[in-house]
A and B are shown apart, each in its own frame.
Chain A
Amino acid sequence: MDFTYDDEQTALREAVRGLATKAYGSFEDRRQVVAQAPGFDEAQWARLAEMGVLGLPFSEDDGGVAAGPVEIGLVCQELGRVLAPEPFLASVVHAGGLVAAAGSPEQRADLLGRLAAGEIVLAAADTSPGDRWSADGGGVTAAQDGEAWTLTGVRDPVPNGARADHLVVTALLPDGGTGLFVVEGSAATRSDYAVIDGSRAARVQLDATPAVPLGEPGHDLRPTIATISDITRIMGAQQALGVMQAQVASTTDYLKSRKQFGVTLNSFQALTFRAADMYVSLELAHSVVDWATMVVGSGTRADIASAADRVGLQVSRAARHIGQEAIQLHGGIAMTAEYSVGVRTAHLAVLEQWLGGAQHHLTRLAATVTDHETVEALG
């Protein structure tokens, strides 16, 4: 049992941190980038590709480096720390994860190879208006005519959906079950909009739009889709961890430097105790995030689903607590869009939707409490 990074992982973290901090260490730079389409910096996307980050999860045959969940997680954490808007989680972890899990060798080599090289952006389209974290494909139906497939329906929100070169779409199959399809971005009707944290999402309308099945046509992929969603949640929790670490650090620095009534704010125990409670939430969340990440590497589908529920609940709760307290302890400055703290809290609220939200996970966990005597950390 070990909760530390090895030397290579530490080196990767330092490299990604260096690249991310250079681009977004100044919050104003991030503001400029997200102010215009596509909501991230294409040059930074290319630099991430050059560093090998965009191919981390994929096999060497598919143009990647076959890194494990710990490496992918630490990238998410570092990008979260500076609110980097590049769609690593959406494009590489989620959409790329679906292609890697379901695509044929040719599809993987093509799509993942170009994704790893930074040549394309993928977006996963699995949510329709009214959906609440279901992976069943409802809202879009697939139709088959000979070898050709088409999709019809609306997906919204689709993170980075307007910029994506290819959309990876879940859809109900004619004979039941859920399939995965690749749709050319330009073939769909897309309307781009801003999300509250400055990132971009889109409404994607499909109207008998040509689509290519991922992997064997007509095969029910629900278990695969669910597992990739769960892994994406756990990596979203890693990203939230980076954001929360930054929130605690910013709040601590602010309490030490901001003066009111002639003294720095850390003279007031009412404030320092609240900062201490933020730290408690952070460390407890950190432990569960590390654990869930290791479960991705060693667990079954069911283990990963359970870990996603547990980390989803813990991190959603911590994100609310730390996000709200960071704003309160900063005061009015954190209400402004030009200051990072309030925007980080906005990003945490967005990541909660990636995670699935506390209530969703609590409902699922509550259904299982009589299935076990205790919850064991070490198995």
Chain B
Amino acid sequence: MQLELSAEDAAFREEMRTYFTTEFPQDIRDTVLEGRELSQEQIVRSQQALNAAGLAVPHWPEEWGGRGWTDLQRHLWHEEMQAAGVPTPLAFNASMIGPVIAQFGTEEQKARFLPATANLDIWWSQGFSEPDAGSDLASLRTTAVRDGDDWIVNGQKTWTTLGQFGDWIFTLVRTDPEVKKQAGISMLLIDMTSPGVEVRPIELIDGSHEVNEVWFDDVRVPGDLMVGELNSGWTIAKFLLGNERVGVAPVGATKRALATLKRNAGDLLDDPLTRARVAELENELLALELTALRVVAHSAGGEPHPASSVLKLKGTELQQAVSQLALDLAGPGSLAYGAEDDSEVPGWARRSAPTYLNLRKASIYGGSNEIQRQIIARTILGL
């Protein structure tokens, strides 16, 4: 047992911190640190800056831009990035389809898509969830039927985050309706400019346009855009959703959110009850961060540490708890949601209600917290 980082890891962390706090575009950090919404242009510029520095896709195979870091180094990279207010690379590209194409794709697919995916020259969207297939993803109904070498896709996806910016969408489709539901699914890469693809916005309770419906009406997809074998989509989906050990819990971002809230709270922190809530959250965040460190330090053999399932569950609860404290401290100021920028109510207070509402999503997406409890009960406790 040893608490200190090795000299090598400490130097690595310093290198990350220096880049993120001195070289990365300041306007993008300011937007994140002030809790404002990033523009499409900023998200692209952010990832391209990271990619130029070799920091966008460090976990990919080295041939395609990976860095061969240890899990602990990736954890430090991820934490330093969040602490500095640097947006993490677009998850659909960096964490989802990139590793999938690198693992399951053909050489042609890798060469065509991976460099553009790392550099966010292609903005990927995720075509998994459907109106009747949420946590029960395998019951999806979007179909792909063969027509010569091509596939004809019909159906509807939903909850497509930032789909309004999407160039391509990686899509789970039913290619065999006759077999057990998991066994008849494949993954197609679909150009969103194809005739028959339509993106419709969904307005959310926080007033944002963050997610979309994507409709497919006789969309023709060339056969060489299937990833992996026919009917192997479920295996690929499990790989995509389950291979992440680093960054499962938003530790750094939540720590930063709480630190920012403390700064904004001013003399509201004179109230002992408020101080106690902050102290309790800080302690729980410490416990979460230490658990994340235990997980990354012990997953060298490839198998995730059993405690990793705790991270998503507790991490999202704490993320939500900080947003609730912000709402409470904002008080009546939180009503000024739609006020103009010259409002006397500070920005953090005006944003507190939409942020609180928006973050309710965190315990639903990526395997709801009830799914996480099911995983803990079944897989870890054997219940």
Residues of A within 8 A of B (CB): 1-5, 9, 70, 248, 252, 255-256, 266, 269, 272-273, 275-277, 279-280, 283-288, 290-291, 293-295, 297-298, 310, 313-314, 362-363, 365-370, 373-375, 377-379
Contacts and interface: CB of A to CB of B under 8 A. Distances in A.
Nearest to B372: A276
Contacts of A377: 286, 289-290, 293
Given A256-B383, A366-B278, 4 more contacts: A3-B1, A280-B314, A284-B287, A365-B279
A369 B383 contact: no
A377 B290 CA distance: 6
19 contacts: A272-B373, A275-B377, A275-B383, A280-B310, A280-B314, A285-B287, A288-B286, A291-B290, A298-B4, A314-B284, A366-B272, A369-B279, A370-B275, A374-B83, A374-B282, A377-B286, A377-B289, A377-B290, A378-B293
B313 interface: yes
Contacts, number: 153
Contacts of A366: 272, 275-276, 278-279
A277 B377 CA distance: 9
Contacts of A297: 3
B285 to A, nearest CB: 7
A294 B2 contact: yes
B376 A276 contact: yes
Interface residues of B, number: 51
A310 B278 CA distance: 13
B282 A1 contact: no
B5 interface: yes
Given A275-B383, A294-B1, A375 B310 contact: no
B290 A287 contact: yes
Nearest to B306: A283
B262 A313 contact: no
* Closest 7 pairs between A and B when the two form their complex, measured CB to CB: A287-B290, A276-B376, A272-B377, A365-B279, A366-B275, A276-B373, A284-B287
Contacts of A286: 291, 294, 307
A10 B5 CA distance: 22
Interface in B70-100: 72, 83
A255 B377 CA distance: 11
B36 interface: no
B297 A2 contact: yes
A321 to B, nearest CB: 13
Most buried by B among A248, A365, A377: A377
Contact of A252 (B262, B297, B383): B383
Interface string B1-20: 11111100100000000000
Contacts of A283: 291, 307, 310
Nearest to B277: A366
Contact of A369 (B3, B72, B262, B307): B262
A313 B286 CA distance: 12
B289 to A, nearest CB: 5
Contacts of A9: 1
Interface string B271-312: 010011011101111111111011001100000000100100
Contacts of B276: 362-363, 366
Contacts of A290: 1, 290, 294
Contact of B280 (A255, A266, A272, A362): A362
B1 A252 contact: no
B382 A252 contact: yes
B285 A276 contact: no
Nearest to A377: B289
Contact of A1 (B3, B263, B314, B382): B3
B307 to A, nearest CB: 4
Contacts of A288: 283, 286-287, 290
Contacts of A298: 3-4
Given A2-B297, A70-B1, A291-B290, A266 B383 contact: yes
A284 to B, nearest CB: 4
B1 A374 contact: no
A3 B288 contact: no
Contacts of A374: 83, 255-256, 258-259, 282
Contacts of A279: 310, 376, 380-381
Contact of A313 (B3, B259, B280, B381): B280
A272 B383 contact: yes
B3 A284 contact: no
Contacts of A314: 283-284, 287
B9 A1 contact: yes
Contacts of B293: 1, 3, 287, 377-378
A291 B372 CA distance: 25
B262 A373 contact: yes
B224 interface: no
Given A275-B381, A284-B314, A369-B269, A293 B1 contact: yes
A1 B2 contact: yes
B381 A287 contact: no
A213 to B, nearest CB: 36
Contact of A294 (B3, B9, B72, B259): B3
Given A280-B376, A310-B286, A367 B275 contact: yes
Contact of B3 (A266, A277, A295, A362): A295
Given A276-B377, A288-B286, A294-B1, A370 B262 contact: yes
Interface string B153-172: 00000000000000000000
